[in-house]
Copies of this chain bind each other. A is one copy, B any other.
Amino acid sequence: MTIKDVAAYCGVSVSTVSRVLNQHPDVSPAVRERVSRAIQECHYVPNNSARSLVASRSTAVGVVVRGVGNPFFSELIPTIEKEIDRRGYTMVLHQINVQDDEIQKAAVLEREKRLLGVVFLGGRFNYTEAELQQLSVPFVCCTYTNTFGNLREDAYSSVSIRDEDEACRAVHILYEHGHRRIAVLLDDPADNSIGQLRWQGYRRALRECGLPFDPALAEFSGGYDMPDAYRGTCELLERGAEFTALLAISDSMAIAAVKALVDRGHRVPQDCSVIAIDGLELSKYMIPTLTTLRQPAGAMARQSIQTLIELVEGRGSHRHLLLETTLRQGDSVISLR
């Protein structure tokens, strides 16, 4: 079955079939419908010869995901894959654990899979020039940037939110609702990563609001996983910390925190308000619906791939994009006033 057979079957020209296959606009809906049906009925498989000719050249773009099972990354990956695919490249997805070094892993992957470029989905914020010499292809940090490292701005690209500012904003929202005893749940205040920046944002917000810092209200659960967050929240409660509101630095941590609070007899939001950062689709279906600062997941994915592919094709230069979150009002924050 060739494209000629399909054309003959439909009584149209080969170039019409080609236009339908390539989704050109200049085909009437009726013809498009007829050709599409014929392609299905004949089980015709288009053989994109332009792509086949260059098949010995690599089309591989690496996506290194740090933190297996991070649900925010699960929301980004479908868009990343689509964006890579529609430009004629191939996504090579590689998942690593939080304790793995993503640069080392990517460098091995670059050689084994002949990568043309790498997107890091999550990572450390403290890369050094020396470390980076392991990688000889361009890369984009997606969801973070190299705040604590010493890379030159023109040595890499990044697409992220302002992590410190957003955590600060979340605390201000709680403050505006009348909360004064505000706890925070994060992985590690010195992780050289998201946790550290959001911790700084929490501390800054307290200062800006004129609230004293109480170490008893800060819980470092050691990880982003829901079991860690659940355990951390239980410890916060067990040591008798008194608070009317909690900032969890990710939606999935907030989901586990709400569960821990409720399991220990605290109503959310009546006894404790909870706010988070991420804006997972899922957290709309929590009880109560989570109030959260939604990261622009689609835009982050699209901008990361556009930036990387332009670099791979020698058409662009490194850039650092900072995107905004939007507050998604749920039912997990209550006003004390």
A residues with a Cβ closer than 8 A to B are 40, 43, 45-48, 51-52, 55-56, 59-60, 68-69, 71, 74-75, 77-78, 81-82, 85, 90-95, 101, 104, 107-108, 111-114, 130-131, 133-134, 226, 230, 252, 255-256, 258-259, 262, 281-282, 284-287, 289
**Which of these, B51, B94, B114, contacts A112 with CB under 8 Å?**
B51
Cβ contact within 8 Å between B133 and A48? no
Identify 9 new A-B residue pairs, CB closer than 8 A, beyond the known A40-B101, A43-B104, A256-B285.
Answer: A45-B107, A45-B111, A69-B281, A71-B282, A81-B94, A81-B95, A90-B113, A92-B92, A226-B282
Report the bound CA distance from A121 to B226 in whole Å: 25
Q: Which of chain B's residues have a CB closer than 8 A to the CB of A282?
A: 71, 226, 252, 255, 282
Q: Closest CB-CB distance, A205 to chain B, in whole Å? A: 27
Report the bound CA distance from A285 to B259 in whole Å: 6
Q: Which of chain B's residues have a CB closer than 8 A to the CB of A90?
A: 60, 92, 113
In the A-B complex, the 4 residue pairs with the smallest Cβ-Cβ separation, listed nearest first, are A45-B107, A68-B78, A74-B74, A259-B285
Asked if A259 meets B287 with Cβ closer than 8 Å, knowing A74-B69, A92-B91, the reply is yes
Q: Closest CB-CB distance, A302 to chain B, in whole Å? A: 15
Q: Which of chain B's residues have a CB closer than 8 A to the CB of A258?
A: 287
**Complex copy number for this chain:** 2
Asked if A134 meets B48 with Cβ closer than 8 Å, knowing A74-B71, A281-B69, the reply is no
Report the bound CA distance from A101 to B44 in whole Å: 13
Asked if A111 meets B285 with Cβ closer than 8 Å, knowing A69-B75, A91-B93, A131-B43, the reply is no
Report the bound CA distance from A281 to B68 in whole Å: 13
Report the bound CA distance from A226 to B134 in whole Å: 43
Cβ contact within 8 Å between B287 and A104? no
Cβ contact within 8 Å between A112 and B48? yes
Q: Which of chain B's residues have a CB closer than 8 A to the CB of A101?
A: 40
Can you list 29 A-B contacts (CB < 8 A)?
Answer: A40-B104, A43-B104, A43-B131, A45-B108, A45-B134, A48-B108, A56-B56, A59-B113, A60-B90, A68-B78, A69-B75, A69-B78, A71-B74, A71-B282, A74-B74, A77-B93, A81-B94, A90-B92, A91-B92, A226-B284, A226-B285, A230-B285, A252-B282, A255-B282, A256-B285, A259-B286, A259-B289, A286-B286, A287-B287
Q: Which of chain B's residues have a CB closer than 8 A to the CB of A285?
A: 226, 230, 255-256, 259
Q: Which of chain B's residues have a CB closer than 8 A to the CB of A92?
A: 90-92
